[in-house]
């Protein structure tokens, strides 16, 4: 087999890896990481054959490199170097971001990947809703390993095919944000074109509603808060980009009052019926809505007092270890700072700080935290630049594929923003399934600039 045929085979293998990656992500992290390994292995072989470094250059390269450097230094100076060294390998998922930017160039492939992700995630969400309605339902595991998680408020916290309901909720938060942005974009197109119904809109809206239902079923409060923020972020970004004012929103030009009224009542009525049916749904354990009780508990200090103690103890640890205790050494050190509290901590509460920022500072020190924050400052700065650049192009000059670019950027920015808001109450950056999807979405946003150039729009 000649060199050119081998290269073509490797590229096809990489593309297969991407499709299998998004197909398996909602179901199995092991299968998804196996797909990512296939991509990386093919990538290495390709570089060997071509005898050159093939690696995407982005504004995030130096911040990420700096972050990895501070992680290694913190491990060397931490309380258990051997344990941290074993844990550092978890960061290989960052290559998800670079692999997407290095090999994907076709907007049609991106559309396929996004829609596959929406479809398989909506299937997982349906399963999550069924878990919430029928306690103990877990077809993915044998009898002795079934995962059934009850909340303090009495409701089942759905886990989907994941091992924990917070992982399920955090994952759905990211995909929901993408689906919400695509659906919103389609709805705006309906209004603009004076349509009442659009089949492509249904293709986006139906999976988004199903994913939203799964998100509720997860009973994950930090994901709920993150999702609300992501929706707000996306709507504001869309309205600003559209040049909307309150007057324009209340009276969209060209759309008859009767149609505006029908659309408004349809949307409001659908949301009301869905929430009413879901919250009042009788289950085997209670006629009272556990989901509403769970939501109200967000504002109840007494139910969140343990988290406040965890944060305070973590701050004390950071003050005493300003250079960090080393990756994944948090649980080895935190108990020394909890003794002064009379509170009885729950099992597993010492795994991390239940806050991404505090966990980064505790494990990687103040320099690690600075590098970590640098990544996100650059990411949002560049993401907004990409959005404004795409937005500056004339919409009527774009094809359907090209118009797909904008909602992906907005939805991706909203997803990552929601991810970090949720991270104020959970260390979701340390959750492999959630973090892997977050890196994929980040890659998609930066990829939109590359696609824009390839389409000749920049």
Percent share of the chain, pLDDT over 90: 45
Considering 90-99, 189-198, 328-337, the range whose residues carry the highest mean pLDDT is 90-99
Please tell me the distance from the alpha carbon of residue 238 to that of residue 230, in angstroms, as a whole number. Answer: 12
Global pTM reads 0.85
Higher pLDDT, 194 or 182: 182
What pLDDT was estimated at residue 287?
38
Residues 258-269 have pLDDT tens digits of: 445 545 555 555
Read off the pLDDT of each residue in 55-75 and give the average, rounded to a whole number: 94
pLDDT reading at 191 higher than 90: no
Please tell me the distance from the alpha carbon of residue 232 to that of residue 323, in angstroms, as a whole number. Answer: 36
| Distinct helix (H) and strand (E) counts, the chain | 18, 2
pLDDT bin (cut points 50, 70, 90) of residue 283 is: very low
pLDDT bin (cut points 50, 70, 90) of residue 309 is: confident
CB of 235 within 8 A of CB of 184? Answer: yes
Higher pLDDT, 379 or 79: 379
Please tell me the distance from the alpha carbon of residue 73 to that of residue 193, in angstroms, as a whole number. Answer: 57
Residues 284-308 have pLDDT tens digits of: 344 346 666 676 666 666 667 777 8
CB neighbours (10 Å) of residue 90? 13
What DSSP character marks residue 346?
P
Residues 209-253 have pLDDT tens digits of: 999 999 988 888 899 999 999 999 998 888 776 665 544 544 545
- Residue carrying the six token digits 């050159």: 52
Tokens of 88: 């550092």
Read off the pLDDT of each residue in 304-332 and give the average, rounded to a whole number: 87
Please tell me the distance from the alpha carbon of residue 416 to that of residue 291, in angstroms, as a whole number. Answer: 25
CB neighbours (10 Å) of residue 322? 10
pLDDT reading at 381 higher than 90: yes
């Amino acid at each position: 087999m000649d060199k050119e045929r081998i290269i073509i085979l490797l590229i096809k293998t990489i593309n297969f890896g991407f499709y299998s990656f998004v197909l398996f992500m909602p179901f199995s992290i092991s299968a998804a990481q196996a797909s990512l390994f296939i991509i990386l292995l093919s990538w290495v072989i390709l570089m060997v054959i071509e005898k050159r470094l093939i690696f995407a250059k982005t504004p995030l390269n130096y911040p990420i490199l700096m972050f990895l450097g501070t992680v290694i230094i913190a491990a060397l100076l931490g309380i258990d170097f051997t344990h941290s060294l074993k844990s550092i390998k978890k960061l290989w998922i960052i290559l998800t971001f670079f692999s997407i930017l290095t090999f994907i160039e076709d907007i049609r492939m991106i559309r396929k990947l996004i829609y596959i992700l929406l479809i398989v995630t909506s299937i997982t969400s349906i399963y999550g809703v069924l878990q919430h309605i029928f306690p103990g339902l877990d077809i993915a595991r044998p009898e002795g390993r079934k995962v059934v998680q009850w909340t303090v408020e009495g409701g089942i916290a759905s886990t989907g095919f994941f091992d924990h309901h917070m992982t399920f909720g955090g994952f759905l938060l990211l995909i929901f944000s993408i689906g919400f942005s695509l659906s919103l974009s389609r709805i705006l197109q309906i209004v603009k074109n004076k349509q009442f119904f659009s089949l492509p809109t249904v293709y986006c809206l139906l999976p988004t509603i199903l994913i939203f239902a799964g998100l509720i079923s997860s009973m994950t409060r930090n994901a709920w808060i993150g999702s609300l923020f992501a929706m707000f972020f996306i709507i504001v970004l869309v309205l600003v980009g559209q040049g909307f004012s309150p007057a324009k929103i209340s009276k969209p030009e060209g759309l008859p009052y009767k149609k505006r009224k029908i659309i408004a009542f349809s949307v409001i009525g659908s949301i009301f019926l869905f929430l009413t049916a879901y919250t009042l749904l009788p289950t085997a354990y209670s006629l009272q809505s556990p989901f509403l009780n769970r939501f109200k508990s967000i504002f109840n200090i007494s139910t969140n007092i343990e988290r406040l103690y965890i944060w305070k103890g973590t701050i004390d640890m950071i003050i005493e270890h300003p250079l960090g205790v080393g990756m994944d050494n948090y649980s080895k050190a935190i108990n020394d700072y909890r003794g002064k509290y009379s509170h009885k901590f729950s099992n597993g509460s010492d795994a991390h700080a239940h806050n991404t920022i505090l966990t980064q500072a505790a494990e990687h020190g103040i320099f690690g935290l600075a590098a970590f924050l640098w990544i996100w400052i650059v990411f949002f700065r560049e993401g907004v630049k990409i959005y404004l650049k795409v937005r500056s192009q004339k919409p009527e000059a774009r094809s359907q594929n090209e118009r797909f670019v904008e909602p992906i950027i907005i939805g991706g920015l909203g997803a990552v923003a929601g991810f970090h808001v949720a991270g104020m109450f959970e260390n979701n950056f340390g959750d492999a399934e959630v973090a892997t999807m977050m890196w994929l979405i980040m890659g998609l946003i930066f990829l939109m600039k590359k696609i824009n150039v390839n389409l000749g729009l920049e």
